[in-house]
Structures are given as structure tokens and as C-alpha cells.
Amino acid sequence: MDLASAHDFVLIYDNDVVCESNPQHLLKQYYQTQLMRDLLNLTRFHFTSLLSSNIDYIVDWELTWFTLNFKPSHDASFTSEHASRHLTFKFKLFLDDLPTLEKLKQTRPDLYMDELTCRSCIDCMEDLMHLFMCKRRRLPMQQILRSYQKHLISKILEAGNLADIDPTPFIAKLTSLSCWSFSSTNWSSYALARGCLPKLFVDLFVDLSIPGISAIKVIAAIHNNFVQKFRKRIWNPRSYEKSKWENAMNITYKLKTTPKPSNLPLSVYIPYSSLPPPTLHDSRDSGTDWLKNSMKYGLPWFNHFSGFMGRLTVLLNNSFCRMECRLL
């Protein structure tokens, strides 16, 4: 293939339509297309097919990939460690891979029962869409989106001044997008939050005589600022409230990172979250309540402990019997 690519070969479709003069480039594009198709066929990306009816929100995949790989510059307040965490969070948000309760129910059914709801509003099941729609997070989410929009508007104003063009119609087109408000049927706002950005963002800047690559860099920086705010004002408070509940249920970090036991029958596989929360007034009472609940509901660790104590009792009895025989 390397030898072939050095020569001037031309692949032609029917009717003498030139396909590609470089076979290596053609095959690379073909396999990238296959991978892209496989990605969009995943259930977590089915929402993109629902955007086809929205002509104002066409996903710009070049902009999306650039934004995903965009790394903000480091300074005293944003170190390389922060950048690494930010990049990880951004990709998890894009891939719908954040550990929401609905995800945790699938990966750790021994700890999180199916009936468990959002720890912030206590009303709904917590999936990624609910993070944006939760009534406890609605106001900060709207503020974050408003900030996103204001950043874009300020850059459009700057571009209009540089090009000596009235930016008013461009701003009107931007603000008319449906992605600036969340609802359960508004998939454009969901796409924006996930990081699947619209082609219109770039087109507005290009129409104001801004080079495409420059526009992409500006938009990527603004979107990364949105991701940071989303993590700080939406995800972190949500995680804190979930951790308080986990502490009350004695679901420790060690327990969460320990592989799920595989040698226990399903009959004793009762999730921790199905236990009544312990009393938090006094540490001794809390521990006592938790032990009582464990004994009552047959928690797996207690079953193991009971078996161990039973075997220990038998061994001690045998030892005492042998000692009595020797004394006699």
C-alpha cells in the first residue's frame, strides 16, 4: 500500500466519477466511516438520529472531535492533574459513562437496588438526562447555559467589529436555537451538554469572516468552560449528596471498589440500599442499628460472619472436650 500510494493511481466509480487518487487515503476514510457508524449505532448515541428533524441543529463532528481533545492551558489554578481529570470527565460525559445511579444499579446491584431514586430530588430515577432536568439542579443548569450563550455572543460581537458587519442577525440566529432550554423532548440541549456541537456555531463565525479553524478553537474553549462549570455546579454537589447517603448506609469506598461476590446465592444477595438508614444521632446507636438491620435482612457479610462464628464455636467445643479428657 505504501508503494501504491506513491504512484498516481485514480479510482473511478461508474460514469467516470473520480473517487480518490490515493488508495491508502480512501481505505483510511472508509474504516473511519465504519467506526463512526458503529459509534452512532450504540444505544447511548441514538439521540443523534432524533436530531435529523431539527435542521438548525446539525452535529458538526469535526468541531465535536476537536472540542473533545481540546486541552485548556495550564496555570496555577488549573494544573496538569486538573486537566487530566477534566479530560476524563469530558469524555465520560460525551460517552454517557458517568456513574449515575442507573449505571451503578447495573454494575453493582448488590449495593444499589432498582427502586433507588435521585438523592437530590428523591423523585426520579437518576440517569444522565435527569442530571440536566432535576428540579434541584434546574436553576444552576439554566445559569450555566446562559453563561455559555453569553460567551458565544461576546465573541460574535468581537468578530462583527473586526469585520465591520452588524452582528445583530447572527446573535438572533444563535439565541433562536432550541438548545438553550432543557425539556424531556428537547434533544438538541441534551446533545449540546453531551458535547455534540452544532454546525451553526462555526457557520456564524465563518459568515463574519473568521477562519474556520479559529472559530473551532474559540468554540472549543467556550465549551470546555461549560464542562468545568457543569462538573463544579451540577456533578460535584450531586456526588456529595450521594456520598452522604452512602455513608449513612455504610457503603464505603473499599466496599465499592471490591469486586462483587460471585459465590453467594441470589437469595442472600440483598442490596445495602434496601436496608433502612441507620440512626445518626449517636455513633454507638448507629452501629447497633446497622448490625441489627444486617442480622434482620441477612446481609452477605453477616452470613459469612455467622458461618465463621459457628465453625469457631465447634472448634472451641472440641478443644475443651480434649482438655477435659486429658485432665481425667
Evaluate if residue 297 carries a pLDDT over 50. Answer: no
Lowest mean pLDDT among 28-42, 115-129, 229-243, 266-280: 266-280
Sequence spans of domains, the chain: 1-41, 54-248, 264-327
Q: Tell me the helices (H) and strands (E) count for the chain, helix number first.
A: 16, 2
* CB contact at 8 A, 101 and 118: yes
State residue 311's pLDDT score: 55
State residue 15's pLDDT score: 58
- Residue 147's CB: how many other CB atoms inside 10 A? 14
- The helix (H) or strand (E) run that includes residue 177 is none
State residue 185's pLDDT score: 83
Lowest mean pLDDT among 90-99, 184-193, 268-277, 278-287: 278-287
Evaluate if residue 71 carries a pLDDT over 80. Answer: yes
Q: Is this structure's pTM higher than 0.85?
A: no
Average pLDDT over residues 9-25: 60
Beta-strand pair 18-20/11-12: antiparallel
Which one is predicted more confidently, 280 or 185? 185
**Phi, psi (degrees; rounded to nearest 5) at 59:** -65, 130
Lowest mean pLDDT among 28-37, 116-125, 277-286, 302-311: 277-286
- Residue 186's CB: how many other CB atoms inside 10 A? 18
Lowest mean pLDDT among 81-95, 130-144, 290-304: 290-304
C-alpha 227/C-alpha 221 separation (Å) is 10
In this structure, which long-range contacts are made by residues 127-130, counting pairs with CB atoms below 8 Å and at least 24 apart in sequence? 127/100, 127/101, 127/102, 127/103, 128/93, 128/96, 128/98, 128/100, 128/194, 129/184, 129/190, 130/100
C-alpha 121/C-alpha 135 separation (Å) is 7
Mean per-residue pLDDT of the chain = 79
Predicted confidence band of residue 175 (pLDDT cuts 50, 70, 90): very high
